């Protein structure tokens, strides 16, 4: 639900224009900021997941996302929407999403790739089906009430986060006192050539990934 509503924010832009009486570019910044913050927070989420575990990180993130989405439903200014939806909701989604992938490694080893694909396919199913529901909600109850309805999905994410029970053994306690940067940043992974190619290749590919989301509305409205 996190990625669905962020990806489908362009469906709500015309309602934003009606409520806030602003141009398309200013309204589009809300969705763009939201998607940017989701990925920008990913390294921070990884650190929190290592320190606090998948359950606490996911539940806390979903709760923050719920607060941000609910607050957005009462907002009357687009400038405030930048913060409530573009920052608070997006950060909560990031903290709720990343642990859902990490926890798979605790339960599956042999067929981890297949399981990861099945989980990821769920986003595709929701992306195909929920736009019809979203369009109907926007027409019948408006943008603000639609945001409140989608708060139910965020509450479901909170409940789902409580089911995350790590099965891998806990890391042994550090014998050396004091802060160690290596506990947070594992720089050894950068020694792998394959990882370096993947780490720089994915951001490069994303430059073209979001082009359809930007221009889709104008093409459909012709």
Helices (H), 75-111: 78-83, 90-102, 104-107
CATH number at residue 32: 1.20.1250.20
What is the Cα–Cα distance from 161 to 19, expressed in whole angstroms?
A: 34
pTM of full prediction above 0.85? no
With contact defined as beta carbons under 8 Å apart, do 82 and 29 qualify? yes
Q: Tell me, what's the pLDDT at 18?
A: 43
Residue 173 resides in a domain: no
Residue 174 resides in a domain: no
Highest mean pLDDT among 27-31, 63-67, 117-121: 63-67
Residue 24 resides in a domain: yes
Residues with Cβ within 8 Å of 14's Cβ and at least 6 positions away in sequence, in order, are none
What is the Cα–Cα distance from 87 to 176, expressed in whole angstroms?
A: 37
Residue 26 resides in a domain: yes
Q: Long-range contacts made by residues 125-132, C-beta under 8 angstroms, separation at least 24?
A: 126/1, 126/4, 127/3, 127/4, 127/7, 127/8, 130/4, 130/8, 131/8, 131/11
Average confidence (pLDDT) over 174-198: 70
Residue 97 resides in a domain: yes
Domain count, the chain: 1
What is the Cα–Cα distance from 209 to 200, expressed in whole angstroms?
A: 15
What is the Cα–Cα distance from 56 to 53, expressed in whole angstroms?
A: 6
Residue 212 resides in a domain: no
With contact defined as beta carbons under 8 Å apart, do 98 and 42 qualify? yes
**89 confidence band (pLDDT: 50, 70, 90):** very high
Residue 211 resides in a domain: no
Q: Tell me, what's the pLDDT at 56?
A: 94
Tokens of 79: 């400038």
Q: Tell me, what's the pLDDT at 88?
A: 93
Instruction: State the CB neighbour count (10 A cutoff) for residue 78.
Output: 18
Q: What is the pLDDT of residues 17-44, one digit of tens each?
A: 444 445 556 677 777 788 888 888 888 9
User: What residues make up the domain containing 9?
Assistant: 2-166+182-188
With contact defined as beta carbons under 8 Å apart, do 68 and 85 qualify? yes
What's the DSSP call for residue 175?
A: S
Q: Tell me, what's the pLDDT at 111?
A: 84
**62 confidence band (pLDDT: 50, 70, 90):** very high
CA distances, 31 to each of 35, 80, 84, 87, 193 (Å): 6, 13, 12, 10, 34
Place of tokens 């606490």: 56
More confident residue, 142 or 155: 155
Residue 205 resides in a domain: no
What is the Cα–Cα distance from 19 to 36, expressed in whole angstroms?
A: 24
Q: What is the pLDDT of residues 197-218, one digit of tens each?
A: 988 888 888 777 777 766 666 6
């Amino acid at each position: 639900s996190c990625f669905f509503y962020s990806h489908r924010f362009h469906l709500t832009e015309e309602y934003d224009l009606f409520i806030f009486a602003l141009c398309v570019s200013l309204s589009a910044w809300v969705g763009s900021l939201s998607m940017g913050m989701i990925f920008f927070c990913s390294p921070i989420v990884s650190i929190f997941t290592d320190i606090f575990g998948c359950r606490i990180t996911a539940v806390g993130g979903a709760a923050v996302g719920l607060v941000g989405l609910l607050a957005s439903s009462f907002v009357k200014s687009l400038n405030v929407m930048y913060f409530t939806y573009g920052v608070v909701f997006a950060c909560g989604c990031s903290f709720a999403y990343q642990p859902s992938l990490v926890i798979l490694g605790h339960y599956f080893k042999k067929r981890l790739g297949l399981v990861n694909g099945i989980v990821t396919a769920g986003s595709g199913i929701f992306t195909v089906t929920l736009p019809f529901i979203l369009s109907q909600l926007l027409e019948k109850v408006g943008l603000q009430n639609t945001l409140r309805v989608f708060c139910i999905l965020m509450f479901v994410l909170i409940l789902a986060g409580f089911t995350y029970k790590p099965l891998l053994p806990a890391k042994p306690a550090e014998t050396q006192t004091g802060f160690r940067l290596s506990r947070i940043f594992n720089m050894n992974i950068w020694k792998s050539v394959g990882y370096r190619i993947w780490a720089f290749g994915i951001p490069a590919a994303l430059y073209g990934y979001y082009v359809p989301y930007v221009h889709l509305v104008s093409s459909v409205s012709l």
